[in-house]
Chains A and B, each alone.
Chain A
Amino acid sequence: MNTSVVLAGITFKNPVTTASGTFGSGMEYGEYIDLSKLGAVTTKGVASIPWPGNPTPRVAETYGGMLNAIGLQNPGMEVFIQRDIPFLRKYDTKIIVNVVGKTTEDYCDVVERLSDQDVDMLEINISCPNVKEGGIAFGQDAKNVETITKELKKRAKQPIIMKLSPNVTDITEMARAAEAGGADALSLINTLTGMKIDIHKRAFLLANKTGGLSGPAIRPVAVRMVYQVANAVKLPIIGMGGIMNAEDALEFIMAGASMVAVGTANFINPKAALNVVEGINDYMNQYGIKDIHDLIGCVK
């Protein structure tokens, strides 16, 4: 049985990784699971300098999901390079580093600094507000998506995954823009912007007012978007959005994702990503499927 997949020339032993921001750099969950059993670990977003993130409350539960407004708190690329890359390299898994920034220059700094580092792929979070463009997210304007992809491709030594925002009218437009800019792969979806109000306090639940909605509540939207994008571009896709178990993951794979990422489910079960790996194997055994590629995009 073959569960390995190749994205942009990088071979992953299985099609399961973690969704950025839900797994740190693997240190905490590494106490619960063997990280070597994952196809890849996708790290929390790394910026050029440390980011302190947003005020609390940063998280709120919603029906079948949760909102987060962590504000991309991260220790900055130097600490990440010194501490987190060597930690992850101890495991037999691929490293996908998620990159964040407030300006195109910020992203370029991180991508350049990582270019000679021992990591396998870079995933670019373009849902960050572009402070030079009045705060509209990079990923909400097709021209910006193409431009930033091109800029990063000039500097990156590793293949680049552009992580698409679902907070757009037509996600295929953004996917095509990333493809035109030279992206090697796409990942989707990032969280959907949401809001929760505490009616007893008559106040926003999150200090940031809005936050990113994740969890099973968003899964059907995510599956639909993966399907649309898979039919719009030739790039390989990492699908994510509310995957709780292998059944959910298989929906994404059948919709056209070559890999899947487990996110919010980690918070409910530290072994969630591992359970997805095992569950995909069980499904393939059950139906006598010899190669995962027979499932990727099999629903037309």
Chain B
Amino acid sequence: MTVAVKQRVKVANQKRIAEGIYSIWLLAPEIAGAAMPGQFISLYSRDGSRLLPRPISICEIDRIHGRIRLVYRVAGKGTLEFSKLKENDSLEVMGPIGNGFTLEGKKAILIGGGIGIPPMLELAKQLTIPKVMVLGYRDITFLEDEFSAFGDVFVSTEDGSRGTKGNVLDAIRENGIEADIIFACGPTPMLRGIKAYAAEKGIVAQLSLEERMACGVGACLGCVCKSKETDHHTNVKNKRVCKDGPVFYAEEVEL
């Protein structure tokens, strides 16, 4: 695997696609050339008071034009700064980082929860097996229509304003969705539920985890998750989300 280099890249365009949710295309041929679905990049603030990179997952990869797309939520001052970037502005990034999803299986459910939805879009594009998408939102939906080109899309909302009222597993059960593999990204409680569901059904699940990170290269051990077996690198039951993940098989990790 090639090593990600910290580099300055240009913004191709950016727009707000929902309340607090932004879609940005970056001109980054090297990253676009190397990236795989489920990987992320680190974005650096221009403000020296905000030191740490913000890890944001890759939503789409456009190798032909050497671009990558990120869809992210404004969650603090760092992402607020990014949301103000316009065409031709530049920012420092490093990536692609992490392992990404392994493309496998015969019939898949792609599950995204909240801001875990964006990385599922590139996966939906690259995964050639039959698949359905299950997208869970609190209330306001985004990206939903972009998934429909790749298969049936089922939606759940916590307030029931769209699709199934409840969570992604409620939507799966309500619609009788069956598959032999699950790919999922979203908040830990959702992933915990999916891990239990996959175990109950006896199917494979690849889960993309989120954790607060510092270095993003596997050195600081800030973003670990609990692993079932003793990890070869750390020699304890911890794996590094940034380096060994963010994607893990459900049975590898304790959530």
Contact = CB atoms under 8 A, between A and B. Distances in A.
Question: Are A and B co-members of a single complex?
Answer: yes
Interface of A: 21-24, 28-29, 31-32, 44, 50-53, 56-61, 63-66, 68, 70, 73, 75-76, 79, 215-216, 264, 266-271
B51 A73 contact: no
5 shortest A-B CB distances, which residue pairs?
A: A75-B235, A59-B222, A28-B219, A24-B219, A267-B215
Contact of B51 (A28, A66, A76): A66
Given A61-B51, A75-B234, A267-B215, 12 more contacts: A22-B220, A28-B243, A51-B236, A53-B236, A56-B222, A59-B213, A61-B52, A75-B235, A76-B235, A215-B51, A264-B51, A267-B220
Given A52-B237, A79-B235, A58 B215 contact: no
A262 B48 CA distance: 17
A216 B50 CA distance: 11
Contact of B220 (A31, A57, A70): A70
A56 B219 contact: no
Contact of A216 (B48, B53, B216, B217): B48
Contacts of B243: 28
Residues of B contacting A: mostly = loop
Interface string B48-73: 11111100000000000000000000
A166 B50 CA distance: 23
Contact of B52 (A23, A51, A66): A66
B147 interface: no
Interface string B189-233: 000000000000000000000011111111111111100000001
Given A266-B215, A267-B215, A269-B6, A64 B222 contact: no
Contact of A58 (B51, B221, B233, B236): B221
Contacts, number: 105
A49 to B, nearest CB: 10
Interface size class of B (residues with CB under 8 A): 20 to 34
A264 B48 CA distance: 13
Interface in B87-126: 94
B236 A75 contact: yes
B227 to A, nearest CB: 11
Contact of A57 (B94, B212, B216, B217): B212
A103 B90 CA distance: 51
A177 to B, nearest CB: 30
A73 B6 contact: no
Contacts of A57: 211-212
8 contacts: A22-B219, A28-B219, A31-B217, A53-B221, A59-B222, A65-B51, A267-B51, A268-B44
B141 interface: no
B221 A28 contact: no
A215 B48 CA distance: 11
B189 to A, nearest CB: 14
A158 to B, nearest CB: 23
Given A56-B211, A267-B52, A28 B236 contact: no
B3 interface: yes
B14 interface: no
A43 to B, nearest CB: 11
B238 interface: yes
B220 A59 contact: yes
Contacts of A22: 215, 219-220
Contacts of A73: 221, 224, 234, 236, 238
B218 A60 contact: no
B214 A267 contact: yes
A167 B104 CA distance: 52
Contacts of A215: 51
> Which of B51, B213, B225 gathers most chain A CB within 10 Å?
B51
A70 B236 contact: no
B155 to A, nearest CB: 26
B7 to A, nearest CB: 12
Contacts of A59: 52, 212-214, 220, 222-223
B42 to A, nearest CB: 10
